[in-house]
């Protein structure tokens, strides 16, 4: 992959990450459509880490506050609203992390295809449409419990499959 391709794919990642579309699929499709060599999962992870760093920088004050509340919940055994949210985030992170470790090679080897992307994009777009039309509307953070966090975490694990939008599947799961 040359520098121009890397820059184009990094821009695609940045523009698509927060939309309810699969940014991972949008990193695979240009290679397919333009005849480029597949950049591989390592590159995809690298540009996702870039997005993560931008998010961490933007939300640094909130993240520091959550981390402090989480630490205080351990040291003082007192659970504030922020400490509770921090624990829910930790819980929601576990399924995707575990799934990535266990299924990462399979996902990279078997699921990086236009057929998988077309299928998952279509299926989860229909699921998101149904959730939007028939699902519950907004709930506040106090209403979210450990079962909700686990469900969100499992949906994040499912989003490891190219064509499955992380934000879309999370909105659907909630």
User: Distance between CA 43 and CA 145 in Å, rounded?
Assistant: 35
pLDDT by residue, tens only, the chain of 174 residues: 889 988 988 888 888 877 878 877 888 888 888 888 888 878 888 888 988 999 999 999 999 999 999 999 999 998 999 999 999 999 999 999 999 999 988 988 888 888 999 999 999 999 989 988 888 777 788 888 999 999 999 999 998 898 898 888 888 886
The CA-to-CA distance between both ends of the chain, in Å, stands at: 38
User: Distance between CA 20 and CA 7 in Å, rounded?
Assistant: 22
Closest by CA position to 22, among listed 154, 148, 173, 158:
158
Residues 1/122/165/151 CA torsion (nearest 10 deg): -140
Q: What is the pLDDT of residue 65?
A: 97
Question: Which residue do the tokens 């709930």 mark?
Answer: 139
Q: What is the pLDDT of residue 89?
A: 95
């Amino acid at each position: 992959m040359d520098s121009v391709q890397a820059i184009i794919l990094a821009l695609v990642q940045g523009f698509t990450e927060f939309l309810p579309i699969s940014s991972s699929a949008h990193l695979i499709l240009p290679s397919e459509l333009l005849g480029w060599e597949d950049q591989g999962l390592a590159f995809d992870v690298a540009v996702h880490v870039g997005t993560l760093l931008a998010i961490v920088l933007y939300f640094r004050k909130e993240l520091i506050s959550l981390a402090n509340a989480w630490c205080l919940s351990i040291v003082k055994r007192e659970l504030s609203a922020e400490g509770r949210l921090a624990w829910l985030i930790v819980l929601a992170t576990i399924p995707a992390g575990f799934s990535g470790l266990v299924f990462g090679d399979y996902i990279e080897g078997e699921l990086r295809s236009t057929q998988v992307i077309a299928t998952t994009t279509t299926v989860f777009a229909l699921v998101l449409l149904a959730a939007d039309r028939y699902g519950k509307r907004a709930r506040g953070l106090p209403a979210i419990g450990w079962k909700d966090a686990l469900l969100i975490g499992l949906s994040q694990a499912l989003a490891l499959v190219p064509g499955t939008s992380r934000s879309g599947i999370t909105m659907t799961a909630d």
